[in-house]
């Protein structure tokens, strides 16, 4: 399954949890956008950090970063650094490769919801 398909299924699931007031989440789009007028990619927004996780979840006093990868996808150097920062600040960070992994992380009875 492609990364975008995995991410889409995760977002649909998170929307259900958000509608139940169990979590609050945001998909992060930190990929520079192609400017067809100037024929180049625009730079990252001011304060944007390369390697930030794809999805942020706020729940139970925690911030959870989800980096979505395909079965063979690997974290970049910047993503590994961001993961380290999350953990240094007492927050959670997961590399997920399926909706099932996210369900397991956020399942009923977990510390998160």
Task: Dump pLDDT digits (tens) for 59-103.
Answer: 988 999 999 999 999 999 999 999 999 999 999 999 999 999 999
Q: What is the pLDDT of residues 1-32, one digit of tens each?
A: 999 999 999 999 999 999 999 999 999 876 66
Torsion angle of alpha carbons 76, 69, 34, 49, nearest 10°? -50
Dist. CA 98–CA 94, nearest whole Å? 11
pTM score, whole prediction: 0.85
């Amino acid at each position: 399954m492609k990364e975008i398909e995995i991410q889409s299924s995760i977002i649909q699931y998170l929307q259900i949890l958000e509608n139940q007031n169990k979590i609050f989440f945001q998909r992060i789009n930190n990929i520079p956008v192609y400017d067809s007028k100037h024929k180049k990619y625009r730079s990252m927004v001011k304060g944007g950090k390369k390697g930030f996780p794809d999805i942020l979840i706020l729940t139970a006093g925690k911030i959870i970063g989800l980096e979505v990868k395909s079965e063979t996808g690997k974290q970049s150097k910047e993503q590994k650094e961001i993961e380290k920062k999350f953990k240094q600040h007492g927050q959670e960070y997961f590399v997920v490769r399926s909706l099932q992994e996210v369900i397991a992380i956020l399942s009923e009875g977990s510390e998160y919801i």
